[in-house]
Amino acid sequence: MNRDAINLRGLGIGLIVVGVIVILLGGLQAYQRYRVLREWTPVAAEFVRTEVRNEKFDTRVWRGRADRYIVTWIFHYDVDGAPREAIADPDVHGTRAQMVAWIHRFHPGQRVTIHYNPANPGEISAAAYDWITFAHAVWVGAWGLGIAILGFVLRRFA
pLDDT per residue, tens digit, the chain (158 aa), is 566 667 888 899 999 999 999 999 999 999 998 998 899 999 999 999 998 888 776 666 666 666 778 888 999 999 999 999 999 988 777 777 778 888 888 999 999 999 999 999 999 998 887 777 788 889 899 999 999 999 999 888 86
CB atoms within 10 A of CB 81: 5
Q: Which of 69, 72, 82, 74 is nearest to 112 (CA)?
A: 74
Burial class (CB in 10 A: 0-12, 13-18, 19+), 65: exposed
Residues 6+ apart with CB under 8 A from 130: none
**CA-CA distance, 115 to 113, in Å (whole number)?**
7
- This model's pTM is above 0.75: no
Per-residue confidence (pLDDT) for residue 125, from 0 to 100 = 92
For strand 65-79 and strand 82-88, is the pairing parallel, antiparallel, or unpaired?
antiparallel
Per-residue confidence (pLDDT) for residue 109, from 0 to 100 = 95
Per-residue confidence (pLDDT) for residue 129, from 0 to 100 = 77
Q: Which of 104, 91, 86 is nearest to 46 (CA)?
A: 86
Per-residue confidence (pLDDT) for residue 75, from 0 to 100 = 96
**CA-CA distance, 120 to 122, in Å (whole number)?**
5
